[in-house]
Amino acid sequence: MHKLIETLRLIRIINCVMAMLGVALGAHLVEAEPGYYGPVMSALCAFLVCAAGNIVNDLIDTEIDRINRPQRVMVRRALSRRYAVITSVILNLAAVAIALTVSPAVTATGLIAIGLLMAYNFRLKQVPLLGNAVIALLGAMTFITGGLAVDVAGSFHLPGPLIPAVFAFLFHIVREIVKDVQDLEGDKKLGVTTLPQLIGVRQSLVLALVLFLILVAATLAPIIAGWYGLWYGVITVFIIDLPLTALLLLICLNPGDRLLRIGSTALKVGMVMGVVALAAA
């Protein structure tokens, strides 16, 4: 039981479930009869790819996590590195095998996601902003994957999976910048160059705020176009846009550790609420 619990911590199960929800929502937003097999299997594939990527990330970032996130499984040596490596390989292989039973399009997105995660973990996370953009792209791809599991052409019609994909991209890149500021000390000590080191903490947070304001404008577009209903507007404007804008502005003015932690968590909660808003749309 202890090993199972630590494994769930290692894969960061909440992130994996969010990837599944992204796929499910993408399938839901396609204007075609969704069926069940394709979306369910694609969601499971996303869960497994995300889990494997998180394991590889923890394996590579163990030394950085000793400073930034000492509670992580590999830092505490709660599981062996051999076990973690084998588990990540099995999860990726299982994801590809499942994707092959759905469609060539879903298989392609699964392989691209695995490739991007490997590139990010081994190299791109050390490239300021590009690494952030890769994580944001992966978040956006979950919605597109859900659409592809139902109807390839319909995945790119508006409104559809493209709307949450754009939202997810902007949401993730904002959160990644905030996390880079939060992890500044550990990254510096181990020679990992991130955006806050290049342009400064305050400038990075201002950039995050500007990107979030672009996201706010994007979330209003479906309301103006008449695509989504009342509940989408209420949740988006009053639960996501206004509170998070105020919080990010406060963080820009006072970028302390406590506010950065709150901001990172609030942005993750905001992503979940965004899924709820789009499901209600």
Predicted local distance difference test score (pLDDT) of residue 148: 95
Q: What is the DSSP string of 56-112?
A: HHHHHTHHHHHHH-TTSHHHHTSS-HHHHHHHHHHHHHHHHHHHHTT-HHHHHHHHH
**Count of beta carbons in the 10 Å neighbourhood of residue 199:** 14
Residue 112's contacts (CB-CB under 8 Å, 6 or more residues apart) are 141
Preceding amide of 128 cis, omega within 30: no
Predicted local distance difference test score (pLDDT) of residue 157: 87
Report how far residue 48's alpha carbon sits from residue 184's, in angstroms, rounded to the nearest whole number: 29
Q: Which domains does the chain have, with CATH numbers?
A: 2-280 (1.10.357.140)
pLDDT in tens, 222-244: 999 999 988 999 999 999 999 99
Predicted local distance difference test score (pLDDT) of residue 192: 77
First to last CA, the chain: 40
Q: Is 103 exposed, middle or buried (0-12, 13-18, 19+ CB in 10 A)?
A: middle
Maximum distance among all alpha carbons in the chain? 53
pTM of the model: 0.92
What mean pLDDT value characterizes the chain?
Answer: 93
Token pair 């996370």 is at which residue? 125
Predicted local distance difference test score (pLDDT) of residue 58: 95
Predicted local distance difference test score (pLDDT) of residue 31: 76
Predicted local distance difference test score (pLDDT) of residue 78: 93
Dihedral of CA atoms 85, 62, 187, 167 in degrees, nearest 10, equals: 50
Report how far residue 260's alpha carbon sits from residue 251's, in angstroms, rounded to the nearest whole number: 7
Residues of the chain with pLDDT under 70: 34
Question: Which amino acid is it at 176?
Answer: E
Closest CA to 113 of 156, 56, 178, 34: 56
Closest CA to 55 of 65, 44, 42: 65
Q: Are 232 and 277 in contact (CB under 8 A)?
A: yes
In the DSSP assignment, the letter for residue 194 is -
Predicted local distance difference test score (pLDDT) of residue 34: 62
Predicted local distance difference test score (pLDDT) of residue 25: 94
Helix (H) or strand (E) holding 201: helix 201-225
Predicted local distance difference test score (pLDDT) of residue 241: 97
Predicted local distance difference test score (pLDDT) of residue 229: 87
